[in-house]
Amino acid sequence: MRLPSGRSSSAIFALIGLCGCAVASAPIKDTPHVVASPQTGAVSVTVKPSDAVGDVQPVYVSVANGTDTPRSVVPSQVFAIDSAGNRIAPLPPAEAAREAGNAGELKAALMSGAASGALGAGVGAGLGAIAGSLIHSGASGAGIGAAIGGGTAAFHGVSAGASKADQQANQQINALALQPGEVRRNFTVSGYVFFPKGDYQQVQLVLVDGETGDTQMINEPLK
């Protein structure tokens, strides 16, 4: 029984390995690291829009408290203001993930899907060439079967890669979302709020005074 030559078998395993690499990159690239700084006696807010992802507009929001009174951040009370002055409610992270690219696929998932498709075509062509060379070299059925078996495993890996990309995209969008909570003196909280894609002029935050329960409204222009 003759097995594939070292050169041919190396090519097979290289192609299979490539399929395992088709995983999702970050749905939101270049996430901001600069956050609002506490200013004595004031609540500071900064907002920064990111590129739209599908039909979703992510906006990075950072809140810093320089007062002695805690403020509560409620993500559902962060609004986008359009050119007509209308307040647009944010999307829950799970809904944002769904709307961002067809059934939960964000930009990263779509990119991974495209990569998987390209790899699938490449693997198919490569395996065809390898199998052909094995036939002409007089390789046995077992040797050719190894090439085809490797290709089947590779294609399964490509299919699983797209599903994994969806999971990674959903996990990241939840991890990056602005979380509800209390901002104490000299503390800063930051995260993304997601809106339907649109032309927005500013972001409005409604914060809650941790002592009196009163609300504080802060408007910040989108730059």
Residues 159 and 198 in one domain: no
Asked if residue 153 and residue 63 are part of one domain, the reply reads no
Cα 111 to Cα 28: distance, rounded to the nearest angstrom = 12
pTM score over 0.95:
no
Residue 61 is assigned to a structural domain of this protein: yes
Region of poorest pLDDT, from 105-109, 138-142, 189-193, 217-221: 105-109
- Distance, in Å, from the CA atom of 30 to the CA atom of 52, rounded to the nearest integer, reads 13
Give me the number of domains the chain comprises: 2
Asked if residue 189 lies in contact with residue 179, where contact means CB atoms within 8 angstroms, the answer is yes
Q: Quick check: is 31 in a domain?
A: no
Instruction: Indicate if 89 and 110 belong to the same structural domain.
Output: no
- Looking at the fold, whether 62 and 108 belong to one and the same domain comes out as no
Same domain, 114 and 137: yes
- How crowded is the C-beta side of 209, counted as CA atoms within 13 Å? 11
57 assigned to some structural domain: yes
* Residues 92 and 154 both lie in one domain: no
- Of the spans 17-26, 118-127, 177-186, which averages the highest pLDDT? 177-186
Q: Is residue 32 part of a domain?
A: no
Segment 184-202, tens digit of pLDDT: 999 999 999 999 999 999 9
Do 115 and 58 reside in the same domain of the chain?
Answer: no
Could you list the residue range(s) of the whole structural domain that residue 92 is in? 43-101+178-221
The verdict on 93 and 109 lying in the same domain is no
Q: Do 171 and 182 belong to one domain? A: no
Kindly state whether residues 95 and 49 are assigned to the same domain: yes
User: φ, ψ for residue 184 (rounded to 5)?
Assistant: -85, 175
Instruction: Give the model confidence (pLDDT) of 11-35 as tens digits.
Output: 444 444 444 444 455 666 666 667 8
The encoded tokens of residue 140 equal: 């046995």
Judged against a pLDDT cut of 90, whether residue 161 lies above it is answered with no
Together in a domain, 156 and 145: yes
pLDDT at position 60 is 94
- pLDDT at res. 91: 95
178-199: buried (b, 16+ CB within 10 Å) or exposed (e) per residue? beeeebeeeebbbbbbbbbeee
CA–CA gap between residue 131 and residue 150 (Å, rounded): 11
Q: Do 95 and 108 have their domain in common?
A: no
- CATH code at 81? 2.60.40.1240
Which two three-digit tokens encode residue 91?
A: 């999307």
Is the pLDDT confidence value at 62 over 60? yes
